[in-house]
Amino acid sequence: MTDTPQYARVNGRFAMHRGGWLESPSVAYETWGTLRGKGDNAILVFTGLSPSAHAASSAENPAAGWWEEMIGSGLPLDTDHYFIICVNSLGSCFGSTGPASTDPLTGQRYRLKFPVLSLEDVAEGGYVVARHLGLEKLHTTIGCSMGGMSALGFCVRHPGFSDGAILISSATRALPFSIAVRSLQREIIRRDPKWMDGNYDPADPPLTGQRLARKLGMITYRSAKEWEQRFGRERVTSEGRGGDPFFSEFSIESYLEMHANRFSGQFDPNCYLYLSRASDLFDLAEHGGSLKTGFSKLRLKRALVIGVETDILFPLHQQRELAEGLSAVTPDVRFVPLACIRGHDSFLVDMDAFRPVICSYFETCGS
Amino acid sequence: MTDTPQYARVNGRFAMHRGGWLESPSVAYETWGTLRGKGDNAILVFTGLSPSAHAASSAENPAAGWWEEMIGSGLPLDTDHYFIICVNSLGSCFGSTGPASTDPLTGQRYRLKFPVLSLEDVAEGGYVVARHLGLEKLHTTIGCSMGGMSALGFCVRHPGFSDGAILISSATRALPFSIAVRSLQREIIRRDPKWMDGNYDPADPPLTGQRLARKLGMITYRSAKEWEQRFGRERVTSEGRGGDPFFSEFSIESYLEMHANRFSGQFDPNCYLYLSRASDLFDLAEHGGSLKTGFSKLRLKRALVIGVETDILFPLHQQRELAEGLSAVTPDVRFVPLACIRGHDSFLVDMDAFRPVICSYFETCGS
């Protein structure tokens, strides 16, 4: 029996990709299933921007995880056969060292003294965990959304360590639409007077800015088509408009409100800002000077790339680009575009579409 | 010679569509060309949310208008043949009565005491101008974006008054994606502490909220494809990042900043909020209980519907719906989908694509 999450700690300085370093940072992780050999059956999962390492329930923590329907006995990431590891991104606030953590050298929270965060650092956090667990290889590295770029960062920095990769609703790099959205989300938080240049009271964070930024997030995580079918012009109520000319009467408005309130208290604002910027900065082409060179460094044996037609944050043509780039240097690449209508979030909410695709990857390559 | 803009004033009470009334409101307008008959050659233009009535330059006001390349001698809206009127929307702040105007009954700004604004009221403002000019008919009513819904409101309330309609990048009603975007824009402004429940100092308005809302607007007015081609991952500079982990280094970020700064000082925040909400509320189906009944009330002889493939705010399927609904009850309907890459704003910035389509409408129907 172990605590949940567990921690891998770096002894000494951890050099950051874009300069600066952290003193003895920790990376939180959880595992499911039983390790075989030095990693022959090990699967490493990198998350999107906001989840913790708690991807699935366990004896130690029975709460449902963010990928509960994907990980378990008889599920696509089958704990009867595989040893699955999920890491909390370095820079996040669910156990890994991030801007909300205490700098051991000063005894104060890092806040904006945390060095610039890159997804290469998040990737390296995954490597720290793998080595901590004694792994010398991985069966497959998986990344969803931002996590797909972290997975690319992992493979490009440790070529050949992982035999395979599953990249879901991700990209080689961010395009200006998603940079614009994230830049605006960050500015909304930073303009909240309670942010105080990052020096907010942790008990009284810039919740208004966080709520508004989350609403903008939701607008880009789902799809117009889904909302048209689901909400149309449905009203929650038309009573109460009374003297308020901007009364929120449409169902879509209360849906956004509900999601914003659910998220905002959980995530540290500075951690959010750092991870959001890291998503903008990542570019596979920086590894060798071109995308082609970046791809050539990955040294994968197989890859599965999945994308969703209605995704506006990581649009489908970016997954096509990923698959094409991988195909030039990887023996076995499969690209699966899905017709899900729930946009970027489909990998979290449309399990019926994703499960068979991921199952077939593992059936094909065996374990 | 006349002043610019000119004003049509209502004598007495003006009843608002969703209740309440205004005392003797004014509607600002400008005209170009020479009126013939009682309106045989008259074209009435309803604007999108933010423009004034200054659609084109004139002897009285030589500044370029928002549709400068569309209106003039030899241009699609040809002032050698047509008499063109553009109205500033009721509720706006460029001469027409709106929340920033003084209520003659109290001597105070209306602010949030302005009644709920509907696009039917904006439409009625256009009718006030038409009657003020002595018109008994119109050759064509034109509306772009929100203005297309105002034009539908005009035709449904005054069936047969206008022979034709040109509806550009518009819709029968807003769908939840655009309602979500506008609802968030409004909340961003209303959460700015300087908004003060609408009682801001006009000399010190909630500029931060307005800037952020404008950035969100720009994200939905253009297209991801345009930005990918235009900006890619281009940097303004990478110098200056220094200690700022969120330093704005991408060109797309400075582009948004420039647009936000250009707009924000010009538009009254409360007027913006009212017009934005009016765009959510409009629904042609409310006129008779169904879209079909709404369309049947328009009594147009001809219509041209134009849409743009890359528009995410008023997506192309909404213009297709408009054209199909009109076709059932209108002798002559033409639907032109354009492959412009500049999204919703294309009608303002991609004149080469729009001019020939509008020219051909007037060539076909003569004057």
Per-residue pLDDT at A1: 35
Residue A49 maps to a domain: yes
Q: How deeply is B7 buried, as exposed, middle or buried, from its count of CB atoms within 10 A (0-12, 13-18, 19+)?
A: middle
Per-residue pLDDT at B152: 98
Q: What are phi and psi of A303, to 5 degrees?
A: -150, 145
Contact A215 B184 (CB under 8 A): yes
Q: Are residues B117 and B251 in the same domain?
A: no
Q: Angle A146-157/A119-132 helices, nearest 10 degrees?
A: 60
In angstroms, the separation between the Cα of residue B264 and the nearest Cα of chain A is 16
Domain count, chain B: 2
Report the CATH number that the domain containing residue A258 is assigned in CATH.
1.10.1740.110
Q: Are A279 and A271 in contact (CB under 8 A)?
A: no
Residue B163 maps to a domain: yes
DSSP B33: S
| Separation of alpha carbons A236 and A229, rounded Å | 16
Q: Are residues A140 and A210 in the same domain?
A: no
For residue A336, which of A352, A351, A363, A316 has the smallest C-alpha distance?
A316
Q: Are residues B244 and B306 in the same domain?
A: no
Per-residue pLDDT at A2: 43
Q: Are A101 and A108 in contact (CB under 8 A)?
A: no
Q: Are residues B198 and B55 in the same domain?
A: no
Q: Are residues A55 and A131 in the same domain?
A: yes
Q: Are residues B191 and B329 in the same domain?
A: no
In angstroms, the separation between the Cα of residue A275 and the nearest Cα of chain B is 10
**Residue that terminates a domain, selected from A211, A245, A275:** A275
Per-residue burial over B327-343, b if 16 or more Cβ lie within 10 Å, else e, is bebbeebbbbbbebbbb
Contact B245 A117 (CB under 8 A): yes
Out of A145, A223, A279, A346, pick the active-site residue.
Answer: A145
Report the CATH number that the domain containing residue A110 is assigned in CATH.
3.40.50.1820
Q: How deeply is B40 buried, as exposed, middle or buried, from its count of CB atoms within 10 A (0-12, 13-18, 19+)?
A: middle
Contact B116 A256 (CB under 8 A): no
Q: Say if strands A42-46 and A83-87 run parallel, antiparallel, or are unpaired.
A: parallel
Q: Are residues A165 and A189 in the same domain?
A: no
Which tens digit of pLDDT belongs to each residue from A295-320? 999 999 999 999 999 999 999 999 99
Here the tokens at position B243 are: 């200690």
Angle at Cα A347 formed by Cα A93 and Cα A166, nearest 5°?
A: 85
Segment (H or E) for B186 = helix B176-191
**Residue B97 in 3-state DSSP?**
coil
Q: Are residues B166 and B191 in the same domain?
A: no
**Residue that terminates a domain, selected from B250, B275, B300:** B275
Q: Are B145 and B305 in contact (CB under 8 A)?
A: no
Residue B365 has pLDDT above 80, yes or no: no
Q: Say if strands A77-78 and A71-72 run parallel, antiparallel, or are unpaired.
A: parallel
Taking residues B66-70, report their average pLDDT. 98
**Residue B89 in 3-state DSSP?**
coil
| Separation of alpha carbons B121 and B104, rounded Å | 19
For residue A121, which of A14, A200, A39, A35 has the smallest C-alpha distance?
A14
Which tens digit of pLDDT belongs to each residue from A321-333? 999 999 999 999 9
Per-residue pLDDT at B244: 77
> Which chain A positions have a beta carbon within 8 Å of B233's beta carbon?
173-176, 179, 283
- The number of beta carbons lying within 10 Å of the beta carbon of residue A186 is 22
The residue count of chain A comes to 367
**Residue that terminates a domain, selected from A247, A275, A303:** A275
- The number of beta carbons lying within 10 Å of the beta carbon of residue A63 is 10
Q: Angle B119-132/B146-157 helices, nearest 10 degrees?
A: 60
Query: Which residue in this structure is represented by tokens 């042609």?
Result: B284
Per-residue pLDDT at B239: 67
Here the tokens at position A130 are: 């793998």
For residue B326, which of B346, B298, B349 has the smallest C-alpha distance?
B298
- Which among A246, A253, A315 has CB closest to B273? A246
| Separation of alpha carbons B97 and B22, rounded Å | 9
Q: Say if strands A42-46 and A138-144 run parallel, antiparallel, or are unpaired.
A: parallel
Q: Are residues A212 and A158 in the same domain?
A: no
Contact A245 B280 (CB under 8 A): no
Residue B2 has pLDDT above 60, yes or no: no
Q: Are B182 and B188 in contact (CB under 8 A)?
A: no
For residue A367, which of A3, A16, A64, A35 has the smallest C-alpha distance?
A35
| Separation of alpha carbons B202 and B204, rounded Å | 5
| Separation of alpha carbons A120 and A70, rounded Å | 26
Q: Say if strands B71-72 and B77-78 run parallel, antiparallel, or are unpaired.
A: parallel
Which tens digit of pLDDT belongs to each residue from B14-46? 999 999 999 999 999 999 999 999 999 999 999
Which tens digit of pLDDT belongs to each residue from B245-296? 888 899 999 999 999 998 877 899 999 999 999 999 999 999 999 999 999 9
Residues of B belonging to the active site: 145, 311, 344
Residue B1 maps to a domain: no
**Residue B129 in 3-state DSSP?**
helix
Contact B256 A177 (CB under 8 A): no
Strands ordered across the beta sheet of B26-32: B6-9, B26-32, B83-87, B42-46, B138-144, B162-168, B302-308, B332-338
Amino acid occupying residue A277: R
Per-residue burial over A32-56, b if 16 or more Cβ lie within 10 Å, else e, is bbebeeebbbbbbbbbbbbbbbbbb
Amino acid occupying residue A111: R
Residue B292 maps to a domain: yes
In angstroms, the separation between the Cα of residue B243 and the nearest Cα of chain A is 8
Q: Which of B114, B149, B187 to mutate to test the interface with A (most CBs of A within 10 A)?
A: B187
Q: Distance from first CA to last CA of chain B, Å, rounded? A: 26
In angstroms, the separation between the Cα of residue A19 and the nearest Cα of chain B is 11
Q: Which of A112, A188, A248, A316 to mutate to test the interface with B (most CBs of B within 10 A)?
A: A188
Per-residue pLDDT at B366: 58
Structural domain that includes position B261: 178-275
Give the chain A residue whose CA is nearest to the CA of B118: A245
Q: What are phi and psi of A341, to 5 degrees?
A: -100, 0
Taking residues B69-98, report their average pLDDT. 98
Which tens digit of pLDDT belongs to each residue from B343-352? 999 999 999 9
Per-residue pLDDT at A265: 78
Residue A81 a catalytic site member: no
Residue B248 maps to a domain: yes
Give the chain A residue whose CA is nearest to the CA of B18: A245
Q: Are residues A19 and A47 in the same domain?
A: yes
Contact B253 A177 (CB under 8 A): no
| Separation of alpha carbons A306 and B185, rounded Å | 33
Query: Which residue in this structure is represented by tokens 């909410």?
Result: A349
Contact B219 A193 (CB under 8 A): no
Q: Are B167 and B193 in contact (CB under 8 A)?
A: no
> Which chain A positions have a beta carbon within 8 Å of B252's beta carbon?
176, 179-180, 183
Contact B176 A250 (CB under 8 A): yes
Q: Are A311 and A167 in contact (CB under 8 A)?
A: no
In angstroms, the separation between the Cα of residue B299 and the nearest Cα of chain A is 26
- Which among B216, B232, B250 has CB closest to A184? B216
Helix/strand/coil (H/E/C) assignment for every residue in chain A: CCCCCEEEECCCEEECCCCCEEECCEEEEEEECCCCCCCCCEEEEECCCCCCCCCCCCCCCCCCCCCCCCEECCCCEECCCCEEEEECCCCCCCCCCCCCCECCCCCCECHHHCCCCCHHHHHHHHHHHHHHCCCCCEEEEEEECHHHHHHHHHHHHCCCCEEEEEEECCCCECCHHHHHHHHHHHHHHHCCHHHHHHCCECCECCHHHHHHHHHHHHHHHCCHHHHHHHCCCCECCCCCCCCCCCCCCEHHHHHHHHHHHHHHCCCCHHHHHHHHHHHHHCEHHHCCCCHHHHHHCCCCCEEEEEEECCCCCCCHHHHHHHHHHHHCCCCEEEEEEECCCCHHHHHHHCHHHHHHHHHHHHHHHCC
Taking residues B79-86, report their average pLDDT. 98
| Separation of alpha carbons B246 and A54, rounded Å | 28
Residue B202 maps to a domain: yes
Q: Are residues A243 and A291 in the same domain?
A: no
Provide the phi-psi class of A5: left if phi over 0, else alpha when psi is between -120 and 50, else beta.
beta
Amino acid occupying residue B100: A
Per-residue pLDDT at A247: 84
Here the tokens at position A76 are: 């696509």
Contact A274 B180 (CB under 8 A): no
Per-residue pLDDT at B168: 98
Q: Are B219 and A184 in contact (CB under 8 A)?
A: yes
Query: Which residue in this structure is represented by tokens 């494809």?
Result: B225
Residue A238 maps to a domain: yes
Residue B186 maps to a domain: yes
Instruction: Show Cβ contacts of residue A335 under 8 Å, excluding neighbours closer than 6 positions.
Output: A305, A306, A307, A319, A320, A323
- Which among B219, B245, B250 has CB closest to A274? B245
| Separation of alpha carbons B171 and B127, rounded Å | 21
| Separation of alpha carbons B181 and B197, rounded Å | 21
Q: Are residues A48 and A157 in the same domain?
A: yes
Which tens digit of pLDDT belongs to each residue from B294-316? 999 999 999 999 999 999 999 99
Digitized pLDDT (tens) for each residue of chain A, 367 residues in all: 345 789 999 999 999 999 999 999 999 999 999 999 999 999 999 999 999 999 999 999 999 999 999 999 999 999 999 999 999 999 999 999 999 999 999 999 999 999 999 999 999 999 999 999 999 999 999 999 999 999 999 999 999 999 999 999 999 999 999 999 999 999 999 999 999 999 999 999 999 999 999 999 999 999 999 999 999 999 987 666 666 788 889 999 999 999 999 887 789 999 999 999 999 999 999 999 999 999 999 999 999 999 999 999 999 999 999 999 999 999 999 999 999 999 999 999 999 999 999 999 999 875 4
